[in-house]
Amino acid sequence: MRWRLLRLPSVMPIDQHRRVSGFAMFRIYSMRRRFAEMFSNKFRVERVEALGPDLACLEWLMECGCTQVTMSDDTRIGSISEMRKYIKRFGYDVFDLPEFDDNRIKELKKEYFSSKLSSESDMAHDKRWSNAPRTYIVKVDASDSAVADPGFAYFRECRQLDTLKLNFCDYFGDEAIRELALGRPARTLTDLEIVLNPAVTDGAIYWLTKLKALRRLHFYFLPYVSNRQGMLRQLRLALPRCRVTFPREDKIGYGYE
């Protein structure tokens, strides 16, 4: 299928060849992204209600192929089977969770996405999620995973997310950063890294400046950021306590200085 989409007549002019080839690649990328959004990244508030925000987020991350998640009890989880075993330790079976009717799901979504909920204190958060286990996501390495914008809603109520690596992830963009900024990560996230992303643009600046807890912010090879220096300048002004790096694309790898 992919080979057929990219196959082009040999007599086609070079400029036209490039345009058609680029369009074909965009179609493939768009289809893959829609697939990721529809399946692995569908936000299910009933999972959050049943498991609590951190375990529901853990389930989503592993279903998307996340590299590793570190929990507050120092457990490191790197596969779907490890995730299911970990969740089972707290008495949950991911295949047999409570079900809710449509009206209840609508109510839960309205509450979950309210700005009031995400701005609550730790004490209020613990009260709201009193039935959830006292285990939390601390570090996430989602490199090479299929995380996409809709799934980032799972991060909203994670209690103490500290570190987030999103390297070589093709399917999220500015909307994902918005989800982080509107949730608890705006107060807890200290380290964010994004390398080689084809969807993050200059528009992400507005939401990145809301992540006031950041102490390290690293970008590299973001082709849709049109003004790298301008982005650096604005972020450094808005986040004076954060070390922001965004080097030129002159080396292979992660662009670490």
In this predicted model, what pLDDT tens digit does every residue of 178-232 receive, in sequence order? 999 999 999 999 999 999 999 999 999 999 999 999 999 999 999 999 999 999 9
Domain ranges of the chain: 15-245
Residue 6 confidence class, pLDDT cut points 50, 70, 90:
very low
* Least-confidence region, from 16-25, 39-48, 53-62, 82-91: 16-25
Q: What mean pLDDT do residues 23-32 have?
A: 47
In this structure, whether the domain defined by 15-245 belongs to CATH 3.80.10.10 is answered with yes
Whether residue 169 contacts residue 142, with contact meaning beta carbons closer than 8 Å, is answered with: yes
Give pLDDT, residue 34: 57
* Least-confidence region, from 39-43, 61-65, 215-219: 39-43
Q: What mean pLDDT do residues 17-36 have?
A: 46
Residue 140 parent element (H or E): strand 137-141
Residue 121 confidence class, pLDDT cut points 50, 70, 90:
confident
Residue 53 parent element (H or E): helix 53-63
Whether residue 224 contacts residue 198, with contact meaning beta carbons closer than 8 Å, is answered with: yes
Q: Which of 19, 21, 39 is nearest to 31 (CA)?
A: 39
CA 82 to chain centre: 20
Task: Establish how many alpha carbons lie within 13 A of residue 108's alpha carbon, considering only the half-sphere containing its beta carbon.
Answer: 18
Residue 104 parent element (H or E): helix 102-112
Length of the chain: 257
pTM given for the model: 0.85
Give pLDDT, residue 33: 53
In this predicted model, what pLDDT tens digit does every residue of 130-171 receive, in sequence order? 999 999 999 999 999 999 999 999 999 999 999 999 999 999
- Residue 50 phi/psi, 5-degree rounding, is -80, -40
Cα 159 to Cα 187: distance, rounded to the nearest angstrom:
10
Give pLDDT, residue 255: 85
